[in-house]
């Protein structure tokens, strides 16, 4: 295999992603069957999605709305006029022997999204990745291979048509990606966007987000693209990155050995960590596209377009820029806080309630995040409200409680107990006249430690501070306690 340094200096990869995103509608794209995941096989079906004779498809209005909103969020031009087409191919899980999709007049084209990487010094690098098109289409069913055969691996297959007719948007990127890392970040940002919009849950484990990669390599400096290979069957962002990195090396090794790269579809084998050939890639002419005769063309009015545009939320990239430039957060904190819309909204509500942005970010990304991960909860399921978090932060900053006290009471606060109740009787002792006698008492009770301290073991200061905190049930102001203890020990 070629080393990574050779890949960078002699060859470059040209990568584009085709992403199928399932829309979160309650019913299918052309019929009223449920889209619920996990139903018993062949229960969410109807004559339309099964392609029975004499039935006609009717476009789900919510599918159009979600597709347009996704196109707007990806900075695409929304077509005033678009249409559906029939894509002809035979496969056992495709009941009609054709798929209703969009070919030459998609609903959205010519957009972009921004990805963010980090350089060797930890500085953010932002790069725009072009979006060629976004179009609507229906999903096919699912084949379940079973039995055992020593040659093929399975002796029979079962067909589940529940997915047939599930609404999808296919988002095709420009070939602007140059590495597995960039491709994985692109796919992650795409998922963040559709989740922020609420148009898809982006769940890769359930097939709601599926990525196919087109990749070729060429010598650096050459304008012409190499022969394109498609990789399928990737169910995670890390798999996308690893599959691309492997394929780059495989293609370069083949070129240097004098072998010809053929245009084909390959599968990513997770266990073997390699790609394997699946079939020779079809071209668009093999699908024999023609306009779908049972569906009228789509026209989006200016009024409808502006209404949907006005309903778009602030998107992840916009929030990251705002958090870094206006709130002074680090790129890491900004990224963690904007990963999920509910976390970003929780953070912003805490800020609006008076919380210091950096302090709020620390609590959310560290202590609260640890609790969420341990309990497998979302931030909307905890009892600590954003306004109560702001109250806690204010109490710490004004010296009413210590950071240690807040962390100690965090389990109670997360369960919904108010700060007033949690910290009742725990206000910090900030009066020197109250603390000085306690410090004197602690020093007098530990003469051996005092002697060791004055003989040079200054680390024992922490011992005396700890004893004062213990006697006051951690109510002694830590800063004032340190000052008084040091003063008394050095007297």
Cα separation of 349 and 329, whole Å?
Answer: 16
In a domain, 411, yes or no: yes
pLDDT digits (tens, 9 = 90+) for 16-64: 999 999 999 999 999 999 999 999 999 999 999 999 999 999 999 999 9
Tokens 């012409």 belong to: 224
Please tell me whether residues 469 and 418 are part of one structural domain. no
Please tell me whether residues 78 and 207 are part of one structural domain. yes
pLDDT band at residue 283 under the 50/70/90 scheme: low
Three-state DSSP class for 160? strand
Cα separation of 484 and 465, whole Å?
Answer: 9
Helix 386-397 vs helix 341-352: crossing angle, to nearest 10: 50
Please tell me whether residues 356 and 244 are part of one structural domain. no
Amino acid 382: pLDDT:
97
pLDDT band at residue 281 under the 50/70/90 scheme: low
In a domain, 391, yes or no: yes
Please tell me whether residues 189 and 56 are part of one structural domain. yes
The residues, any chain, with a CB within 8 Å of residue 313's CB and separated by 6 or more, are 196, 197, 341
Minimum mean pLDDT among 2-11, 29-38, 356-365: which range? 2-11
The domain of 140 spans: 4-304
Please tell me whether residues 148 and 195 are part of one structural domain. yes
In a domain, 125, yes or no: yes
Which among 17, 74, 45, 39 is positioned nearest to 138, based on CA atoms? 45
Which letter, b or e, does each residue of 80-92 get, where b requires 16 or more Cβ atoms within 10 Å of its Cβ? eebbbbbbeeeee
Provide the mean pLDDT of the chain: 92
Number of domains making up the chain:
3
Q: Write the CATH number for 446.
A: 1.10.10.410
Pair 171, 134: CB distance under 8 Å: yes
Please state the rounded mean pLDDT for residues 312-327: 96
Please tell me whether residues 281 and 358 are part of one structural domain. no
pLDDT digits (tens, 9 = 90+) for 393-437: 999 999 888 898 899 999 999 999 999 999 988 888 888 888 999
Amino acid 282: pLDDT:
56
Please tell me whether residues 296 and 342 are part of one structural domain. no
Please tell me whether residues 294 and 342 are part of one structural domain. no
Listed residues 250, 276, 304: the one ending a domain: 304
What tokens does 275 get? Answer: 């790609």
Pair 102, 135: CB distance under 8 Å: yes
Sheet holding 98-101, edge to edge: 98-101, 85-88, 290-291
In a domain, 309, yes or no: no
Question: Within 10 Å of residue 69's Cβ, how many Cβ atoms?
Answer: 20
Please tell me whether residues 113 and 8 are part of one structural domain. yes
In a domain, 288, yes or no: yes
Burial class (CB in 10 A: 0-12, 13-18, 19+), 385: middle
């Amino acid at each position: 295999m070629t080393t990574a340094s050779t890949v960078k200096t002699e060859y470059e990869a040209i990568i584009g992603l085709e992403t199928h995103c399932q829309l979160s509608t309650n019913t299918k794209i052309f019929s009223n069957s449920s889209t619920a995941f996990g139903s018993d096989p062949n229960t969410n079906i109807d004559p339309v999605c099964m392609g029975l004779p004499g039935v006609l498809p009717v476009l789900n209005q919510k599918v159009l709305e979600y597709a347009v909103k996704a196109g707007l969020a990806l900075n695409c031009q929304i077509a005033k006029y678009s249409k559906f087409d029939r894509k002809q191919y035979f496969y056992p899980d495709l009941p009609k022997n054709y798929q209703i999709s969009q070919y030459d007049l998609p609903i959205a084209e010519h957009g972009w999204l921004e990805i963010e990487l980090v350089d060797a010094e930890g500085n953010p690098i932002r790069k725009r990745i072009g979006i060629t098109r976004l179009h609507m289409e229906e999903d096919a069913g699912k084949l379940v291979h079973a039995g055992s055969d020593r040659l093929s691996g399975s002796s029979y297959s079962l067909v589940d048509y529940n997915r047939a007719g599930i609404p999808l948007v296919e988002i095709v990127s420009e070939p602007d990606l140059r590495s597995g890392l960039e491709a994985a970040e692109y796919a992650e940002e795409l998922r963040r966007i559709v989740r922020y919009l609420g148009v898809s849950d982006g769940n890769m484990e359930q097939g709601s987000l599926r990525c196919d990669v087109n990749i070729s390599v060429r010598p650096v400096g050459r304008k012409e693209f190499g022969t394109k290979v498609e990789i399928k069957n990737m169910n995670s962002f890390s798999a996308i990155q690893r599959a691309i990195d492997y394929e780059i090396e495989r293609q370069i090794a083949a070129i240097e050995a004098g072998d010809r790269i053929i245009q084909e579809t390959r599968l990513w084998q997770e266990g073997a960590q390699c790609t394997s050939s699946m079939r020779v890639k079809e071209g668009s002419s093999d699908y024999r596209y023609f306009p779908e005769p049972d569906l009228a063309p789509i026209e989006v009015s200016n009024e409808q377009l502006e209404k949907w545009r006005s309903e778009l939320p602030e998107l992840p990239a916009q929030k990251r820029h705002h958090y870094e430039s206006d709130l002074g957060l680090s790129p890491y904190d900004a990224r963690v806080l904007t990963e999920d819309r509910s976390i970003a909204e929780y953070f912003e509500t805490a800020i609006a309630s008076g919380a210091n942005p950096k302090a709020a970010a620390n609590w959310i990304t560290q202590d609260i995040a640890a609790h969420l991960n341990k309990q497998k909860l979302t931030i909307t399921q905890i009892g600590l409200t954003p306004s109560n978090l702001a109250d806690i932060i204010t109490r710490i900053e004004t010296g009413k409680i210590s950071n240690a006290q807040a962390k100690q009471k965090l389990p109670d606060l997360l369960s919904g107990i108010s700060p007033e109740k949690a910290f009742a009787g725990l206000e910090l002792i900030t009066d020197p006249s109250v603390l000085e006698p306690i410090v004197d008492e602690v020093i007098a009770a530990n003469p051996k430690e005092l002697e060791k301290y004055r003989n040079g073991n200054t680390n024992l200061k922490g011992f005396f501070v700890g004893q004062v905190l213990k006697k006051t049930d951690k109510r002694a102001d830590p800063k004032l306690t340190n000052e008084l203890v040091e003063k008394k020990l050095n007297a």
